[in-house]
Amino acid sequence: MYKLAITMGDPAGIGPEVTVRALGAMAESLRQEVVVVGNGAWLQKVAESVGGPAAGLVFRERKNFADAPGCSRNGCEIAVCNPLAGSVLQLPLGVDSAVSGEASFRYVESGIELVMSGNCRALATAPISKRSWHLAGHHYPGHTEFLRERSGSAAVGMMFWGERLKVLLATTHLPLKDVAAALTVKLIRDQVTMLYGFMRKTGIPGDIGLAALNPHAGEQGAFGDEEELILTPAVAGLRAMGVPVQGPVPADVLFYQALNGTYGAVVALYHDQGLVPFKMLYFSDGVNLSIGLPFFRTSADHGTAFDIAEKFIADSGSMRAAIKLALELSDAGPGRR
């Protein structure tokens, strides 16, 4: 069993680049614990273009991943699972296409199969282009929804991990005008309960802080009633269940408190409420983490960056952090040795 499957992302973006850069920075012993899901020839070409430590890597496509890690590899060889075996992608960098969308979709699909089959314990994903997925006929909003469907999970949470700040989004990619209507007592209860289970499993200490929606937490209805009608009852119910959650706390206070250790993790109610403070701190090395799956999945916290894909100047900090966290979490997940 391998510790980790890494999908190389959209071949036309910076996913392959940040993947090979991250692998080049890893200890050889750790590289033998991973399988890269992608095109071996493409990865080799990118490694040569990147140069530096990555230039010495050798990517070998394999068919069998049930054997013990390292059983047939020497030196810097890295195992590659290519679900489109035999194909060498010939496409321009920095452009959406059905070809790259189909490839990156199949890479994620095979990565899920590797962890669900027990051949790997965790999954790390490089960025994909949602538009390219759609051009290829795969109409998912992104990784999270596809992971939920293929794993059979009832719900999946989108979490962002940094050393001093860990944020779960109660809602994800919604227009701001739709957020209030999407908030329910059940949604808050389910998301906070999911987060608490993850914290217990991975040993994250401390209470959970729940953000308010309105300025000053609504100030007793003066600026909105979502706190009184939804958030406060949800917190009361959770605390009665033994979940250590505090709130709703005005967002302009919550994140300051979290950075000073008041909370082990926080729940933001909408995308930018959580991501603005998080990316102020962890723009280059934050990790996108899916919770609620039967396995751990991490991802680089950025997109395909088509505008720089041909320049080979991408910062691999977030991908390195995603791989590092996935390797650490794999020791707490199902099938750990």
| CA angle in degrees (0–180, nearest 5) for 59-62-68 | 100
Q: Quick check: is 88 in a domain?
A: yes
Is 136 found in the same domain as 19? yes
Is 84 found in the same domain as 188? no
Length of the chain: 337
Cα radius of gyration (the chain): 21
Is 307 found in the same domain as 255? no
Whole-number pLDDT of residue 106: 96
Amino acid at 305: A
> Among the three residues 277, 297, 321, which one is the final residue of a domain in this structure?
277
The SS3 call for residue 101 is helix
For residue 295, give the DSSP letter.
S
> Can you give the pTM of this predicted structure?
0.89
**Cα 71 from chain centre:** 29
Q: Quick check: is 126 in a domain?
A: yes
Whole-number pLDDT of residue 232: 97
For residue 68, give the DSSP letter.
P
Cβ density class 8-30: b for 16+ within 10 Å, e for less: bbbbbbbbbbbbbbbbbbbeeee
Is 181 found in the same domain as 78? no
The four Cα atoms 78, 323, 42, 64 give a dihedral, to 10 degrees, of: 40
Is 146 found in the same domain as 196? no
Is 251 found in the same domain as 205? yes
Structural domains of the chain, count: 2
**Beta carbons of 159 and 148 less than 8 angstroms apart:** no
Q: Quick check: is 184 in a domain?
A: yes
For residue 224, give the DSSP letter.
B
Is 172 found in the same domain as 94? no
Is 269 found in the same domain as 301? no
Beta strand pairing call for 207-211 and 245-249: parallel
pLDDT in tens for each of the 337 residues of the chain? 899 999 999 999 999 999 999 999 999 889 999 999 999 999 999 999 999 989 889 999 988 876 655 544 445 689 999 998 766 667 889 999 999 999 999 999 999 999 999 999 999 999 999 999 999 999 998 898 899 999 999 889 999 999 999 999 999 989 999 999 999 999 999 999 999 999 999 999 999 999 999 999 878 888 889 999 999 999 999 999 999 999 999 999 999 999 999 999 999 999 999 999 999 999 989 999 999 999 999 999 899 999 999 999 999 999 999 999 999 998 765 444 3
Is 224 found in the same domain as 89? no
Whole-number pLDDT of residue 65: 77
**Beta carbons of 232 and 132 less than 8 angstroms apart:** no
| Six token digits for residue 4 | 């980790």
Q: What is the CATH number of the domain that holds 316?
A: 3.40.718.10
Is 290 found in the same domain as 224? no
Q: Quick check: is 337 in a domain?
A: no
Whole-number pLDDT of residue 142: 85
Host domain of residue 39: 2-156+286-330
Whole-number pLDDT of residue 87: 66
**In which element (H, E) is residue 102 found?**
helix 98-116
Say if residue 248 is preceded by a cis peptide, omega within 30 of 0.
Answer: yes
Give the Cα separation of 70 and 79 in Å (integer). 9
Whole-number pLDDT of residue 86: 67
Is 147 found in the same domain as 258? no
User: Is the C-alpha dihedral spanning 113, 116, 118, 123 positive or negative?
Assistant: positive
Is 174 found in the same domain as 141? no
Give the Cα separation of 289 and 299 in Å (integer). 6
> Among the three residues 277, 294, 321, which one is the final residue of a domain in this structure?
277
